[in-house]
Amino acid sequence: MNATVSTALFGGFMVVTVVLGLLAVRGRGSGGGLAEWSVGGRSLGTVFIWVLMAGESYTSFSYLGAAGWGYNFGAPVLYVVAYMSCGYALGYVVGPMLWAYARRHGLVGITDIVAHRYRRPWLGAAVAVLATVCLLPYIQLQITGMGVVVSTISYGTISLNWAYFLGFAVTCGFVVVSGLRGSAWVSVLKDVLVIATLGFLVVYVPLHYFGGYGEFLHRVTAEKAQWLTFPGHGSGGLGQVWFVTTTVVNSLTVVIFPTTVAGYLGARNAEALRRNAMYLPFYNVLLFVPMLLGLAALFVVPGLTGADSNLALFKLVVDSLPAWAVGLIGVAAALSSIVPMAVFMLVIGTMWGRSVLGAVPRLATRQKLWSQVVVVAAGALALVLTYTAPNTLVRLSLISYEGMAQLVPMLLLGLVWRRLTWLAAVSGLVAGFALVCVLVFGGHDPVWGMNAGLVGLAVNLAVALAVTWLGPREADDRPDAEVLAVDDEFPEGEAEPVRASS
Amino acid sequence: MGPYPHPVKQRPRHPALTWLLLPYVLFLAVLPAANRVAPTVLGLPFLFFWMLVATLATPLAVWLARRGDRARGRGGEGA
């Protein structure tokens, strides 16, 4: 009975999700080209940008990993709030800058930006390949996250393997057709459900299990003090230095993360992004909920270990709530996988359609079509790897964020500093990325208490500066205004440059 | 249309943008002093209370930066 109710509710909402995603492009015809699909025709206002960016950053990790980290370690989980807050503040400057640059030159993503800045299409293609390697694990994380949520809230009716497939199918069901705009529409449903269900849980769980907030917090403080300060409980070196270095490097990375940039580029104007930078950080308050519930789970379901601790929050939900509520919370968590997965797949598709396949002259006229094909291919690859070799992507995911961080100098420094040569940017990237791989796969992260990504970034920057000063100078006769992001405004009423795409 | 029809304004970074560093100060620079359980505020252990304060101060910092930005005539609708 329970299973029927929650599964039916879940199924109903999945249908609504696909329909909503497809409705987003109703009346817009099938034309519109790559920019219409990849960045929503650069037409989203403050509200949609807020909903979309909140939607894509609040992933299934927020439900599973944040509660799991809270349960296992305690305080170190706060890094998520810290880096997202700092990153959103930084986005006030970076967002409008990237938006105006992309708009001025008709670009649709970071690979495109790199290719234009350094005037080397192959560099855009190489960055696309690298970024794809870093992003694929995130798709798998969303697929497996959705899997455990769905099989838990359906009380086992839907098997893990079917739930994985469902995640892939629902996401493909709308994003292939409706792109970023569809993701923004689905985000509306997602954000409403996430805010409502977490708002409810944060009140209900302490009341139900502890008789109130005061009592809950009192018990945590009295009995679990080790969880409440750095380095937390049994975290293996996640101390204050780790927290500070991780926050710094992640806050720099999140502003150039391809999915974040897709959100930036979707904006109607720079002002929408500035306003968004002000409102978006409020969303981070919600992150405290799974963290606190992870701590609450320490008392209610003690002894969870390994991957099971990620279910800390859902054990409480299934244990204490009726089936319809379990179903609804499951839908919110499933959408927290689906929306980010859609945007991850979308940016991979865009990077390949524009910068890899689009760079081949014979294929360049069908960039949107190639992007859509790659969306399905990338999702299918992640799905197949989830079934056949799950550990491959899990291992890769260890370097995802820290690897992506190595693109910061090439992108951000490159857009404000003319002298940075392509050779210097590439040398830095290679050095930083290699160092991150060595440290992470060698089991040295954190290294001397510091996040390995920041160590890599420091080496990356040093190499890039050294090669710029000592290496060959570049002969590029374009004016600064063509190469650099010198102004973050875009004149009203000016048409976007038309580039080869359909 | 020429390659770049608009004169490029090199604008000096405005001091208001330093407000954007406030979250870094609150989350990171102050951490050694905030890394403690006592005193509890509203029942919250101090570190968690402090992180909540920093989280809520972030939009305020962006607002202050934006206010400074607008004061020199940038931003606003149609900008």
Residue A112, domain CATH: 1.20.1730.10
**Residue A432 within any structural domain of the chain:** no
Q: How many domains does chain B have?
A: 1
**Cα–Cα distance, A309 to A303 (Å, whole number):** 8
pLDDT grade for B5, boundaries at 50, 70 and 90? very low
What average pLDDT values come out for chain A (502 residues) when binned by 10 residues? 88 92 79 83 91 86 85 92 95 94 94 95 96 91 88 88 92 92 92 92 93 91 91 87 95 94 94 93 92 92 83 89 91 92 94 91 87 94 89 77 95 94 96 96 90 96 96 85 77 54 40
**Residue A423 within any structural domain of the chain:** no
pLDDT of residue A488: 64
Alpha helices in A280-322 (DSSP H): 288-300, 312-320
Output the CA torsion A138→A426→A374→A260 (10° steps). Answer: 50
Distances (CA, A) of B3 to A482, A496, B6: 8, 13, 9
A298 CA to chain B: closest CA distance, Å? 16
**Residue A160 within any structural domain of the chain:** yes
DSSP letter at A450 equals B
Tokens of A162: 């079917």
Listed residue (A431, A420, A411) closest to A473, CA to CA: A420
**Residue B5 within any structural domain of the chain:** no
**Residue A50 within any structural domain of the chain:** yes
Chain A residue numbers touching B6 (CB-CB < 8 A): 481, 487, 491
8 Å CB contact of B52 and A218: no
Exposed (0-12), middle (13-18) or buried (19+): which is A32, by Cβ within 10 Å? Answer: middle
Res B19 pLDDT > 50: yes
**Cα–Cα distance, A184 to A187 (Å, whole number):** 5
Q: Is B45 on the interface with A (CB under 8 A)?
A: yes
pLDDT of residue A169: 93
Do A188 and B8 contact (CB within 8 A), yes or no? no
Listed residue (B13, B19, B40) closest to A216, CA to CA: B40
Chain B residue numbers touching A278 (CB-CB < 8 A): 59, 62-63, 66
**Residue A338 within any structural domain of the chain:** yes
Q: Hey, of A53, A83, A92, which one would you mutate to test binding to chain B, going by the most B CBs within 10 A of its CB? A: A92
pLDDT of residue A235: 80
**Residue B11 within any structural domain of the chain:** no
End-to-end Cα spacing for chain A: 51
Q: A44 by DSSP, 3-state: which?
A: strand
Among the partner residues B43, B52, B59, nearest to A281 by beta-carbon distance = B59
**Residue B28 within any structural domain of the chain:** yes
SS (H, E, C) A66-110: HHHHHHHCCHHHHHHHHHHHHHHHHHHHHHHHHHHHHHHHCCCCH
User: What is the Rg, in whole angstroms, of the alpha carbon atoms belonging to chain A?
Assistant: 22
**Residue B9 within any structural domain of the chain:** no
**Cα–Cα distance, A301 to A298 (Å, whole number):** 6
DSSP letter at A14 equals H
DSSP string of A363-375? GGGGHHHHHHHHH
Q: What is the pTM of this model?
A: 0.90
Listed residue (A387, A2, A318, A13) closest to A149, CA to CA: A318
Domain housing A8: 2-25+43-396
Q: Tell me which H or E stretch contains A352.
A: none
**Residue A204 within any structural domain of the chain:** yes
Q: How many domains does chain A have?
A: 1
**Cα–Cα distance, A244 to A322 (Å, whole number):** 41
**Residue B48 within any structural domain of the chain:** yes
8 Å CB contact of B35 and A240: yes
Do A193 and A331 contact (CB within 8 A), yes or no? yes
**Residue A441 within any structural domain of the chain:** no
Q: Is A224 on the interface with B (CB under 8 A)?
A: no
Placement of tokens 């497996």 in the chain = A144
pLDDT of residue A479: 87
**Residue A180 within any structural domain of the chain:** yes
pLDDT of residue B70: 84
pLDDT of residue A496: 58
Domain housing B37: 16-71
**Cα–Cα distance, A206 to A134 (Å, whole number):** 38
**Residue B10 within any structural domain of the chain:** no
pLDDT of residue A106: 92
Output the CA torsion A208→A209→A212→A214 (10° steps). Answer: -160
Q: Is A50 on the interface with B (CB under 8 A)?
A: no
pLDDT of residue A486: 76
pLDDT of residue A304: 87
Distances (CA, A) of A43 to A38, A39, A54, A263, A353: 12, 8, 18, 11, 21
DSSP letter at A149 equals H
How many Cα atoms within 13 Å fall on the side-chain side of residue A46? 11
pLDDT of residue B21: 95
